[in-house]
Amino acid sequence: MKKISILGSTGSIGVSTLDVIERNPDRFELVGLAAGSNVEVFAEQIKKYRPKIASLFDTTKIEELKARVNGVDVKIVPGQEGSVAVASHAEVDLVVSGMVGCAGLVPSYAAVSAGKTLALANKETLVVAGEVILREAKKNGVSIIPVDSEHSAIFQALNGEDPERIRRIILTASGGPFRTFSREQMETVTVEDALKHPNWDMGAKITIDSATMMNKGLEFIEAKWLFGLDTQIDIIVHAQSIVHSMIEFVDTSIMAQLGIPDMRVPIAYAMTWPDRAECDLPSLDLAAMGNLTFEAPDFDRFPCLRLAHEVMDAGKTLPAVLNAANEIAVQAFLDRQIGYREIPELIESTLERHTPHAADSIEDVLNADGWARNEARQLLTAKA
């Protein structure tokens, strides 16, 4: 019986993880849940799944949470201290890291420090602090198992293969809702347009990241940390999101992993690896799909892809600054403060103002993150 904590249980990844646990009662036992501020959904989850420990980041809602779960035997710990306690609880074997943004960094690091297997959806953790997290994982003999469908695909295609024999990784991208849009068409897109992802049903931040293709940029950085900094990684646009990614080996053979676009599959794989679980989902109907298409990405129309490559090459604190500025820009877009095309502009302006320094510790990364948020907010105020 694997004992599980979920970071970000009220989100899209969190809800899918609870569904996987519910479908496999003989395999998993839930120990801890952590959420941000959605007190209604969180209280219902606590009442239904009965974790031993639960944490709500928003300390102003703790009393309301306690009232809503009155009578349930659960330890409630507020704030980041709470999510760290959920991640490092003595009974837990595996932590599903499904918070959004850099908020996931400290609890994910706590899980790794406490020797827990990390099923990682929160790609921002590796983007901002890849070196620090991997060093800590190595020190504690911890496995980091990717949940992102693309990285899960690469992980699955690598099964039993020698990583030394990889020629390149081919990371697939849906291209998002504006895949075929000209720059002029992009000028007038709305928040509602950007929130309509063609294939995946996800949280708002990653959906906007998919529309700007920053999501693929972040995944490119995540893949570098997971599968080797020297590994060549090419991005290919595959609008149907059926081939989740591929590896080309030195003999030119390509291994691909295909599947329906449902996050419960890679989540279950990360939780059961090296085994697999019955998922009770419909099989992929390739005949009904008809065609699978592939095209080169356009770094000019999607400048976030270029920015992500540049910060990965430059390293140091630049990936943390890119990520923080992106979080501010995406929120400003969702709040209708800036337009879609201003997202990469704000990120690039923030990066230009940054003097990179070493990102050797969580503190270094958090300082760079804080600096970038401040700077991006000032740039926003100056624009208004």
Ligand X SMILES: NC(=O)c1ccc[n+]([C@@H]2O[C@H](COP(=O)([O-])OP(=O)(O)OC[C@H]3O[C@@H](n4cnc5c(N)ncnc54)[C@H](OP(=O)(O)O)[C@@H]3O)[C@@H](O)[C@H]2O)c1
To the nearest 10 degrees (0 to 180), the angle between helices 204-212 and 214-227 is: 100
Answer yes or no whether residue 200 interacts with ligand X by CB under 6 A: yes
Burial of residue 173, with CB atoms counted within 10 A of its CB: 0-12 exposed, 13-18 middle, 19 or more buried: buried
Q: What is the DSSP string of 85-129?
A: HHHH-TT-SEEEE---GGGGHHHHHHHHHTT-EEEE--HHHHHHH
- Residue 217 near ligand X by CB under 6 A: no
Q: Is 364 exposed, middle or buried (0-12, 13-18, 19+ CB in 10 A)?
A: middle
- Least separation in angstroms between residue 217's CB and ligand X is 12
Nearer to ligand X, 108 or 272 (CB): 108
Q: Does 123 bind ligand X (CB under 6 A)?
A: yes
Contact between 268 and ligand X (CB under 6 A)? Answer: no
Instruction: Give the one residue of 4, 11, 119, 344 binding ligand X; rule: CB under 6 A.
Output: 11
Verify binding: residue 263, ligand X, rule CB under 6 A: yes
Confirm or reject binding of residue 10 to ligand X (CB under 6 A): yes
Residue selected from 30, 54, 95, 103 as contacting ligand X according to rule CB under 6 A: 103
Query: Which 62-91 residues touch ligand X, going by CB under 6 A?
Result: 83
The answer to whether 96 and 121 have CB atoms below 8 angstroms apart is yes
Residue 148 binds to ligand X (criterion: CB under 6 A): yes
Q: Are strands 117-120 and 94-97 parallel, antiparallel or unpaired?
A: parallel
Is residue 130 within the footprint of ligand X (CB under 6 A)? Answer: no
Tokens found for residue 253: 């053979």
Q: Any contact of residue 98 with ligand X (CB under 6 A)?
A: yes
Taking CB atoms, the residue at the shortest distance from ligand X is 11
Shortest Å distance, C-beta 15 to ligand X? 8
3-state secondary structure at position 200: coil
Tokens 């970071």: give the residue: 7
For the bound state, the minimum distance from the C-beta of residue 148 to ligand X, rounded and expressed in Å, comes to 4
The count of C-alpha atoms lying within 13 angstroms of the C-alpha of 218, restricted to the half-sphere facing its C-beta, is: 31
CA-to-CA separations, 154 to 19, 210, 250, 252, in angstroms, rounded = 24, 19, 15, 16
Residue with smaller CB distance to ligand X, 200 or 299: 200
Q: Does 203 bind ligand X (CB under 6 A)?
A: yes
CB of 324 to ligand X, least distance (A): 14
Between 218 and 379, whose beta carbon lies closer to ligand X? 218
Can you tell me whether residue 323 is helix, strand or coil? helix
> Which range in 129-137, 198-206, 353-361, 367-375 contacts ligand X by CB under 6 A?
198-206
- Residue in the structure block whose two tokens are 């604190």: 317
Rule CB under 6 A: choose which of 4, 5, 12, 172 binds ligand X.
12
Q: Which residues bind ligand X (CB under 6 A)?
A: 8-14, 34-38, 42, 57, 83, 98-100, 103, 121-124, 148, 200, 202-203, 205-206, 263
